[in-house]
Chain A
């Protein structure tokens, strides 16, 4: 039974715990990760020669980070680990990879556990295409992996726990944080409290973060409506103009903006693996179907971590392990039913907390509807809100892929990963249709751009003779 070939994609908390469960069952899984070192997004590790401590890097999560890193390092001998390797396609029971050396490979699997994590969910603001505007995740990666800030005067804009986390990490690292501008009204937190109390520890961490920001002298404003990120093409961002909760307009001078509204699952691989998706009204997103045990709708394909649902890092550890146990059970291994039900219960608790977060820090749908016509929605293809509205009104596009065909929205390098959700909101608002009828942009390989030359050169006819 140990001959089964199981592939885990992603070496974040979900992938690491999945790999661990597989190794415990006597398997030698293949773990493929785009990152240079295991740890994933939240427990991203610094390059080898960097020396900041876990406490300095991960704060309250240091112990968890250390546990994940040590677990994975301990597994090294029992797994086939392939870092810096992109899974760019999945077809006919094989994953197709491109590694850091530019080598293409295809690898068959009996079970595939996708733990692909999340990316930022961003709501466009007029001027967000100016140099100096980063996603929250990018701002955090710059800090965690390279120990540098995105600017010398930084404004953080958006909503969700990551907004506060990244801002406080910046403040702690000594960066000049000009302001934290939260689009969610403070009052939204009250009705969310019962759900948020399902993870009192995490909630408390949030309170501590906010206090730390205050103590560092960072102004935090709630219920803010962004008007524009200002600046010019030459020098990039020079400030941000917002409407405050009291209706007054204010400008904050800065040379960088970190922005984002929570996260979205990285679902492209699930899409390529032909998993079915369903609309989740709570987060206004299409997500791959996942049963209570971690199975997708495709036999042999399992989903763990934030790549399936944004439930956070702790849940990722549980759902990654659960997906692996389910895969093992489906392959005929015996697994502990008790452990599975414990994991399911834990995940249900995290889901409750996540629902509270969605309530406390809502995705500002009205911001999409109010986006000025000249604001860029799709940065790869420079498609403006006005152009998108024109294909709705003149082209009759009421569906995401039709709007993409007519306007190029989501047709560039990121394939709609960053603009797709906002574009759908713009379309829904303009066409006055429910967001779920707009559908989702279909994923296409390669999951990320890859250089044509990596495919090798054809065998040119040999020059014969001498």
Chain B
């Protein structure tokens, strides 16, 4: 069988892979993308939907800003509505953790240098504007220029837009081996199909490690499943997505109201994943803990019915930063994975940045914090 050829071969059809495919085509590169299942069904399709910049390390803000610029034009770019609502993102601190409020203040001052305007709110002002807020909330940091979107629609929308420009996407096509063969990469799928390209981009999310190691590099990638649920719908009233800023995992709940009216709730403790089966199972104890915690943030939730719970498989690295950029050892090989629970917002910006890097050989975004060889150095 002769192998299909393109300029760039992408393994993994999450938001990273699909956005990269779209922007590579915009830059005139032909792309073939392989996806085990259906595009955007894993982390990119199961996530909470936060399109937030605040709370990220400052050095990540240029990438997050690049991304938000795309989010704002997503409807025009993609030719479809992905339910992006720019209604703000708010982090709150509880009364028994005043230090969290102090950290938010400091962060707001620093973030101002990175085009992120945060408004600090407390007392009557906070409660007048957000009367549903629980009495335990002490202070809030509001970013009016952030928002949230529908993850179920986003990955497939990027994929469709890429296909419209000429990208070839193979769903139900799992890459099983990827090798460097002369000047080309040679990838074989589970069903025997073969693909060749001079450039290979690995955007395989929680499954990227096998490919990285296949090329002789190391990465301590793990995965976990953030726990999600959704309530029955109620009249649309709450604009921003809201999350608790706390060092305690179990307290770290968040929620947003979608246009349809349901509250989507996430956070607190996470589920074990089974990436080899592409499955994650929701643990009832995580749900119960989450439902208890969310009532502290928004007491009215206690009267609402939870109609569904779910989780997704997200990749994590020890320093909570992704791997993004060229391989340290193999020419033509690029990575974008390991987004540590915060990649949905970054997705469009990552796609544009990777396309720029691959097509032009450089990008203004500083990728040094995301180098793959930071782990090689650590293990020596």
User: Quick one: which of B136, B152, B305, B310 contacts A450, CB cutoff 8 A?
Assistant: B305
Say if the beta carbon of A457 comes within 8 Å of chain B: yes
User: Quick one: which of B287, B296, B308 contacts A415, CB cutoff 8 A?
Assistant: B308
Bound CA–CA A466/B283 (angstroms): 41
Say if the beta carbon of A172 comes within 8 Å of chain B: no
Say if the beta carbon of A412 comes within 8 Å of chain B: yes
User: Quick one: which of B96, B293, B294, B301 contacts A461, CB cutoff 8 A?
Assistant: B96
Does the CB pair B136–A452 fall under 8 Å? Answer: no
Size of interface on A: residues with Cβ below 8 Å to B: 36
Q: Mark B209-237, 1 if CB is under 8 A from A, else 0.
A: 00000000000000000000001100000
Bound CA–CA A399/B152 (angstroms): 14
Say if the beta carbon of A438 comes within 8 Å of chain B: no
Does the CB pair A452–B291 fall under 8 Å? Answer: yes
Does the CB pair A445–B294 fall under 8 Å? Answer: no
Bound CA–CA A445/B136 (angstroms): 29
Say if the beta carbon of B342 comes within 8 Å of chain A: no
Interface of A is mostly: loop
Q: Mark B295-308, 1 if CB is under 8 A from A, else 0.
A: 11000011111111
Name the interface residues of A39-67: CB closer than 8 Å to any CB of B. none
User: Quick one: which of A92, A104, A412 contacts B307, CB cutoff 8 A?
Assistant: A412
Residue of A whose beta carbon sits closest to that of B290: A455
Does the CB pair B260–A408 fall under 8 Å? Answer: yes
Residue of B whose beta carbon sits closest to that of A90: B284
* A288 smallest CB distance to B (angstroms): 17
Say if the beta carbon of B38 comes within 8 Å of chain A: yes
Does the CB pair B282–A457 fall under 8 Å? Answer: no
* A78 smallest CB distance to B (angstroms): 29
Q: Mark A435-466, 1 if CB is under 8 A from B, else 0.
A: 00000000011100111110111101100000
Best-surrounded residue of B41, B294, B308 (most CB of chain A within 10 A): B308
* B274 smallest CB distance to A (angstroms): 11
User: Quick one: which of B153, B160, B285, B306 contacts A396, CB cutoff 8 A?
Assistant: B160
- Name the B residues within 8 Å of A96 (CB-CB): 284
Contact A91 to B284, CB < 8 A, known contacts A413-B232, A452-B231, A458-B292:
yes
Contact A411 to B231, CB < 8 A, known contacts A399-B38, A455-B288:
no
- Name the B residues within 8 Å of A449 (CB-CB): 232, 305-307
Say if the beta carbon of A406 comes within 8 Å of chain B: yes
Bound CA–CA A402/B153 (angstroms): 10
Name the interface residues of A80-105: CB closer than 8 Å to any CB of B. 88-89, 91-92, 94, 96, 104
- Name the A residues within 8 Å of B38 (CB-CB): 399, 402
Residue of A whose beta carbon sits closest to that of B171: A396
Say if the beta carbon of B309 comes within 8 Å of chain A: yes
Does the CB pair A453–B282 fall under 8 Å? Answer: no
Say if the beta carbon of A106 comes within 8 Å of chain B: yes
Does the CB pair B305–A461 fall under 8 Å? Answer: no
Does the CB pair B292–A451 fall under 8 Å? Answer: no
Q: Mark A404-418, 1 if CB is under 8 A from B, else 0.
A: 011010011101000
User: Quick one: which of A381, A395, A456 contacts B156, CB cutoff 8 A?
Assistant: A395
Bound CA–CA A358/B132 (angstroms): 53
Bound CA–CA A235/B104 (angstroms): 54
Does the CB pair A411–B156 fall under 8 Å? Answer: no
Does the CB pair B305–A451 fall under 8 Å? Answer: yes
Bound CA–CA A456/B285 (angstroms): 13
User: Quick one: which of A406, A408, A411, A452 contacts B305, CB cutoff 8 A?
Assistant: A452
Does the CB pair A413–B305 fall under 8 Å? Answer: yes
Does the CB pair A455–B308 fall under 8 Å? Answer: no
Does the CB pair B45–A405 fall under 8 Å? Answer: yes
Say if the beta carbon of B27 comes within 8 Å of chain A: no
Say if the beta carbon of B107 comes within 8 Å of chain A: no
Does the CB pair A452–B307 fall under 8 Å? Answer: no
Best-surrounded residue of A89, A104, A106, A381 (most CB of chain B within 10 A): A89
Does the CB pair B304–A451 fall under 8 Å? Answer: yes
Q: Mark A218-246, 1 if CB is under 8 A from B, else 0.
A: 00000000000000000000000000000
User: Quick one: which of A381, A399, A444, A461 contacts B136, CB cutoff 8 A?
Assistant: A461
Bound CA–CA A453/B287 (angstroms): 12
Does the CB pair A457–B295 fall under 8 Å? Answer: yes
Binding site for A on B (CB under 8 A): 38, 41, 45, 94-96, 136, 152-153, 156, 160, 231-232, 260, 281-285, 287-289, 291-296, 301-310
Kindly list the 9 A-B residue pairs having the minimum CB-CB distance in the complex, ordered from nearest. A453-B302, A449-B305, A455-B291, A405-B152, A461-B96, A96-B284, A458-B292, A89-B284, A452-B291
Supply 20 further A-B pairs (C-beta < 8 A) apart from A461-B96, A461-B136. A92-B283, A106-B284, A274-B281, A395-B156, A396-B156, A401-B41, A402-B156, A405-B153, A444-B310, A446-B306, A449-B232, A451-B306, A452-B231, A452-B291, A452-B304, A452-B306, A455-B289, A457-B296, A457-B302, A461-B95
